[in-house]
Amino acid sequence: MMHRTNNIVLTITGASGGPYAVRLLDCLEAAGEMIHLVVSPHGQRLLTDECGPKKGSEAFCAKHPSGCSGKRLLTPFFALIGRRSERVIAYDYNDLSCRLASGSFLTDGMVICPCSSNTLGAVAAGLGDNLITRAAHVTLKEGRPLVLVHREMPVSGIDLENMLKLQRAGATICPASPGFYLRPCKVADLVDFVVGRVLDLLGVPHQLNVRWEGLGNDE
């Protein structure tokens, strides 16, 4: 069994779900992972719209301060943060010559969060015309964990067929479907639930509250 490299590829596309990506990035950084970040043009617009100051992100951050640092990583990548994180390396979405496009660069896995239906279909079809889809195929061919956090509802038959195709190819489909058995009190609790499950799938330790403890002895 190969030792962990602590390299995780985090990619962000244009499906609604910016807070999931923000929180996941922060948790990966807190866990000591080296994050190799790729954001599609639509993903960059998504983060601006959903996590930028004009769309209420300040209220989100006030309730959940840990969400503040990651959301400043984009438009473009490090412009909003005012500093460069030593644990986050950003790559050009169109750069197919960088190391993420080669299986010789060792990683512990890749996550697309959120994953648009367009990206889902492109990966399922074997396209590799941008760094996100190329890195996804590298991850699959090398037998490493590939987690797709699809965020769309309802789901079309085309999406379902693409999910099945990818699951059979070795990917894990992890829809952004938060559970309610922990009785969440705020949006940040729902975000943490999904992010915690993604971290589990990547084998990254965390302290987020996602565990089902059973119904107890009171029934």
CB atoms within 10 A of CB 157: 7
**pLDDT above 50 (res 211):** yes
Provide the pLDDT for residue 217.
53
Does position 11 have pLDDT exceeding 50, yes or no?
yes
Q: Is the pLDDT of residue 86 over 50?
A: yes
Percent of the chain at pLDDT exceeding 70? 81
- The domains of the chain are located at 7-202
Per-residue pLDDT averaged across 180-197, rounded?
93
Gap between the Cα atoms of 54 and 140, Å rounded: 38
Give the per-residue pLDDT at 2.
64
Question: Over the stretch 46-84, which tens digit does the pLDDT of each residue have?
Answer: 887 887 655 444 444 444 444 433 434 444 444 433 345
pLDDT reported for residue 84: 56
| pTM for this entry | 0.85
pLDDT mean over 112-135 = 97
Phi, psi torsion values for 10, nearest 5 degrees: -110, 120
Spatial separation of the C-alpha atoms in residues 90 and 103, rounded to whole Å: 18
Q: Which CATH superfamily is domain 7-202 in?
A: Flavin prenyltransferase-like (3.40.50.1950)
| Mean pLDDT score across all residues of the chain | 85
End-to-end CA distance of the chain: 44
Which residue type occupies 87? Answer: R
How far is 136 from 118, CA to CA, in rounded Å? Answer: 14
pLDDT at 107 over 80: yes
Identify the band that residue 106 occupies on the pLDDT scale cut at 50, 70 and 90. very high
* d(C-alpha 80, C-alpha 82), whole Å: 6
